[in-house]
């Protein structure tokens, strides 16, 4: 009985999602964005702050920017974050019919394009790192369109129908989806043959992570990224696709800057402190990218959830 209820719930969720996709695909871009902005206004102004995770976002912004922002500026930044995220949903749904190889010049600007292409054509394994910043799906699709397919690591969704939809979407331009749970063997197989993988590097790694500075405060970061880069002598490309300001929107759809913030050679970090130094380098690079458009970052993640020394404190308590 429990399985039947879960199946019915999943089916209802997927049916509603498909209806939502259909409606958004029928709407002009400006209308879709107006709907997105309306949802953002309701969430920010009418939904209780505890439910909207407002305090988490506020605390994260205070941690990141300190006294640089007033309370009014923080409140406005959180509202703009929600506008960005609801618009991101519209862009993802409309992306397959809006972005094609023949019209990419109308939609995409590139920062350090030549340097990025040189890294991709070097014959060495490449780890593309980003965060919950800008429109990460646009970045992934762009590389597929230009003939640089990658293995994209993502968490498996509970709803199998939604999971299959996102799998088809992410693999539509030649990429392959790798489930985060048990991804190690697929990642090593791709890197073994000199391929390219895409990972997010901005989530809390718990007590087992390596602590590096993120916006001036120690944040637990996954060791696996740096270890893979060092083991396979990979090039680490830090970047993302963020929405350009309204003054630079010239076409019928959104324009994005596909930016390569940094290209890091793992061969330069082979010393005793290589793992920590490499992790700090790509974390600092992501921070620089976020600072360019902070309203396009997902500030409701508990990035500083684990305090430094958490493992040592737990061991002492157990002893």
Residues 120-145: pLDDT tens digits? 999 999 999 999 999 988 988 899 88
Residue 96 backbone phi and psi in degrees, to 5: -60, -30
Residue of 143, 140, 134, 139 whose CA lies nearest to 245? 134
* pLDDT per residue as tens digits for the range 138-166: 988 899 889 999 999 988 999 999 999 99
Beta bridge partners of 178: 153
Q: How far apart (Å, rounded) are the C-alpha atoms in residues 44 and 82?
A: 8
Residue 316 has pLDDT above 50, yes or no: no
Q: What is the largest CA-CA distance in the chain?
A: 64
Which residues partner with 133 through β-bridges? 297
**What are the Cα distances from residue 294, in Å, to 45, 82, 103, 108, 243?**
20, 12, 28, 20, 11
Across 202-226, average pLDDT: 95
Q: State residue 251's pLDDT score.
A: 66
Q: For residues 145 and 99, what is the distance between their CA atoms, to the nearest angstrom? A: 9
pLDDT 10s digits, 42-70? 999 999 998 999 999 999 999 999 999 99
Report the pLDDT value the prediction gives residue 92, as an integer from 0 to 100. Answer: 92
Token duo for residue 68: 């640089």
Q: Please state the three-class secondary structure of the chain as a single string.
A: CHHHHHHHHHHHHHHHHHHHHHHHHHCCHHHHHHHHHHHHHHHHHCCCHHHHCHHHHHHHHHHHHHHHCCHHHHHHHHHHHHHHHHHHHHHHHHHHHHCCHHHHHHHEEEECHHHHHHHHCCCCCEEEEECCECCHHHHHHHHHHCCCCCEEEECCCCCHHHHHHHHHHHHCCCCEEEECCCCHHHHHHHHHCCCEEEEECCCCCHHHCEEEEECCEEEEECHHHHHHHHHCCCEEEEEEEEECCHHHCCCCCCCEEEEEEEEEEHHHCCCCCHHHHHHHHHHHHHHHHHHHCHHHECCCCCCCCCCCCHHHHHHHHHC
**What pLDDT digit, counting tens, does each position of 22-45 carry?**
999 999 888 999 999 999 999 999
Q: What is the phi-psi region of residue 182: left when phi exceeds 0, alpha when psi lies from -120 to 50, beta otherwise?
A: left
Give the pLDDT mean for 109-114. Answer: 94
List Cα–Cα distances, 152 to 76, 240, 305, in angstroms: 33, 14, 25
- What pLDDT score was predicted for residue 231? 95
Q: What does the pLDDT average to over 18-25?
A: 93
* Residue 311 reports pLDDT greater than 70: no
Exposure class string for 144-163: b at 16+ Cβ within 10 A, else e: bbeebbbbbbbeebebeeeb
Helix axes 136-145, 71-98, angle to 10 degrees: 30
Q: Which of 71-80, 186-195, 290-299 has the lowest mean pLDDT?
A: 186-195
d(CA 274, CA 47): 46
Tell me how far apart the alpha carbons of residues 122 and 116 are, in angstroms, rounded to a whole number.
10
CA angle 157, 296, 306 (to 5 degrees): 65
Helices 223-231 and 184-192, axial angle in degrees (round to 10) = 30
Task: Convert the pLDDT of each residue in 67-83 to its tens digit.
Answer: 999 999 999 999 999 99
Q: List pLDDT tens digits, range 226-280.
A: 999 999 999 999 999 999 987 677 767 889 999 999 999 999 998 889 999 999 9
First and final C-alpha spacing in the chain: 45
């Amino acid at each position: 009985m429990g399985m039947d209820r879960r199946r019915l719930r999943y089916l209802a969720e997927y049916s509603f999602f498909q209806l939502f996709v259909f409606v958004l695909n029928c709407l002009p871009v400006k209308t879709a964005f107006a709907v997105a902005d309306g949802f953002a206004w309701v969430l920010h102004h009418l939904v209780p702050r505890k439910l909207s995770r407002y305090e988490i976002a506020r605390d994260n912004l205070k941690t990141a920017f300190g006294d640089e922002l007033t309370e009014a500026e923080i409140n406005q930044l959180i509202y703009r974050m929600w506008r960005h995220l609801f618009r991101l949903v519209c862009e993802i749904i409309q992306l397959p019919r809006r972005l094609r190889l023949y019209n990419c010049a109308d939609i995409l600007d590139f920062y350090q394009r030549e340097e990025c292409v040189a890294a991709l054509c070097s014959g060495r394994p490449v780890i593309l790192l980003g965060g919950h910043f800008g429109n990460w799906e646009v970045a992934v699709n762009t590389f597929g369109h230009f003939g640089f397919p990658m293995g994209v690591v993502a968490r498996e969704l509970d709803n199998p129908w939604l999971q299959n939809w996102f799998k088809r979407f992410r693999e539509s331009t030649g990429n392959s989806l790798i489930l985060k749970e048990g991804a190690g063997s697929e990642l090593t197989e791709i890197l073994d043959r000199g391929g390219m993988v895409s990972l997010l590097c901005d989530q809390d790694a718990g007590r087992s992570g390596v602590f590096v500075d993120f916006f001036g405060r120690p944040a637990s970061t996954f060791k696996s990224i740096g270890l893979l880069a060092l083991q396979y002598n990979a090039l680490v490309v830090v970047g993302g696709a963020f929405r350009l300001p309204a003054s630079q929107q010239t076409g019928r759809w959104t324009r994005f800057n596909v930016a390569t913030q940094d290209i890091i050679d793992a061969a330069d970090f082979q010393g005793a402190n290589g793992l920590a130094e490499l992790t700090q380098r790509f974390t600092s690079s992501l921070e620089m990218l976020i600072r360019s458009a902070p309203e396009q970052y997902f500030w409701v993640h508990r990035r500083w959830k684990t305090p430094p020394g958490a493992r040592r404190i737990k061991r002492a308590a157990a002893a």
